[in-house]
Amino acid sequence: AQRVTQPEKLLSVFKGAPVELKCNYSYSGSPELFWYVQYSRQRLQLLLRHISRESIKGFTADLNKGETSFHLKKPFAQEEDSAMYYCALSRTSGSRLTFGEGTQLTVNP
Amino acid sequence: EAEVAQSPRYKITEKSQAVAFWCDPISGHATLYWYRQILGQGPELLVQFQDESVVDDSQLPKDRFSAERLKGVDSTLKIQPAELGDSAMYLCASSWDSGTGTTTDTQYFGPGTRLTVL
């Protein structure tokens, strides 16, 4: 069975500080990992995926297969980054997403 | 920009009543997903369609939940009878099928239907 764990339900940082949202997963194969974000009063949307190796809105995430982690990082947090962040896993392209419980990030001025 | 549409946005019902939710995916998206999100948790898949066929309903409580996508476009999720524990956000998502047997992995989500069972 696949499982995604986000150990922090709440995370609060000051503007300009680095931020790291933790994500650990359990799956016996080679999953695809994603970060989804939900801003206030908006729908859930894809932030980034590990296969793209891209930086979106200054965020990056590195897949560490040895530690089965996919932590989301940003060197300088902005107030507009305040949102709910979900880490998610899928076994294959197009298959269902298994989500973590989410981390509510608050960036204070 | 095309978006996934859902209705109603909010639904309040009494225990043992029947409820139905509707989803219209992005045009051209062959794969449609229904997720349930209980407050404080991440979304969990209920059912996945590829065109009009169900490809994953392993977590759908089939004694009370049903889903259909008759023409392979829009979809309806029904609960009968509703129970108190069904109170949740019901999310619909869709993704594009390249037609080569590979579905792109970006799922686009609708705004959700918030169900409250009294």
pLDDT tens for chain B, residues 1 to 118: 789 999 999 999 999 999 999 999 999 898 999 999 999 999 999 999 999 999 999 999 999 999 999 888 999 999 999 999 999 999 999 998 655 544 456 899 999 999 999 9
Task: Say whether pLDDT at A1 is over 90.
Answer: no
Q: How far is CA B50 from CA A12, B3, B45, in A?
A: 40, 18, 14
Candidates B105, B106, B113, partner chain A, best to mutate (most A CBs within 10 A): B105
Contacts of B104 in chain A (CB under 8 A): 93-94
Tell me what pLDDT residue B97 has.
66
Closest-CA distance of chain B to residue A17, Å? 26
On the CB side of B99, CA atoms within 13 Å amount to 1
The pLDDT tens digits of the residues spanning A78-103 come to 999 999 999 999 988 778 899 999 99
Tell me what pLDDT residue B96 has.
83
Q: Is B100 helix (H, G, I), strand (E, B) or coil?
A: coil
Tell me what pLDDT residue B47 has.
97
Tell me what pLDDT residue B100 has.
52
User: Cβ contact (<8 Å) for A93 and B104?
Assistant: yes
The pLDDT tens digits of the residues spanning A16-75 come to 999 999 999 999 888 889 999 999 999 999 999 887 777 889 999 988 989 999 999 999
Q: Considering only alpha carbons, which residue of chain A is nearest residue B58? A: A96
Instruction: Specify whether the CB–CB gap between B6 and B113 falls below 8 A.
Output: yes
Closest-CA distance of chain B to residue A54, Å? 15
Two tokens at B81?
Answer: 């009878």
Distance CA B82, CA B70 (A): 23
Distance CA B59, CA B47 (A): 7
Tell me what pLDDT residue A40 has.
93
User: Cβ contact (<8 Å) for B109 and A32?
Assistant: no
Tell me what pLDDT residue B103 has.
46
What is the C-alpha radius of gyration for chain B, rounded to an integer number of angstroms?
14
Distance CA B26, CA A8 (A): 33
Contacts of A99 in chain B (CB under 8 A): 42-44
Two tokens at B107?
Answer: 């799922």
Judged by a CB distance cut-off of 8 A, whether residue B17 touches chain A is no
- Is the link from the previous residue into A75 a cis peptide, with omega within 30 of 0? no
Tell me what pLDDT residue B105 has.
65
Tell me what pLDDT residue A54 has.
78
Closest-CA distance of chain A to residue B31, Å? 8
Closest-CA distance of chain A to residue B116, Å? 19
Query: What is the length of chain B?
Result: 118
Contacts of B111 in chain A (CB under 8 A): 43
Tell me what pLDDT residue B101 has.
46
